Homo-oligomer: A and B are copies of this chain.
Amino acid sequence: MNTEEIRKKIRDGEHTGPTSGIAGDKVQANLAILPKEYAFDFLLFAIRNSKPVPIIEVLEAGEFVSRYAKKSDIRTDIPQYNIYKNGELTETVSDIKKYWRDDFVTFLIGCSFTFEQAILDAGISIKHIDEGRNVAMYKTNIETEPAGVFKGNTVVSMRPFKKSLVDKVTEITNEFPNMHGGPVHAGDPKEIGIRNIDKPDYGDSIEIAEDEVPVFWACGVTPQNVVLNAKPEILISHAPGHMFITDINNEEYKS
Contacts and interface: CB of A to CB of B under 8 A. Distances in A.
A158 B147 CA distance: 37
Contacts of A147: 60
A36 B40 contact: yes
Q: Specify how many copies of this chain sit in the oligomer.
A: 2
Nearest to A61: B148
A36 B148 CA distance: 11
A60 B44 contact: yes
Interface string A58-91: 1011000000000000000000000000000000
Interface string A143-161: 0000110000000000000
Interface residues of A, number: 13
A55 B48 CA distance: 11
A47 interface: yes
Nearest to A146: B60
Interface of A: 36, 39-40, 43-44, 47, 55, 58, 60-61, 105, 147-148
14 contacts: A36-B40, A39-B40, A40-B40, A40-B43, A40-B105, A43-B43, A43-B44, A44-B58, A44-B60, A47-B47, A47-B55, A47-B58, A60-B148, A61-B148
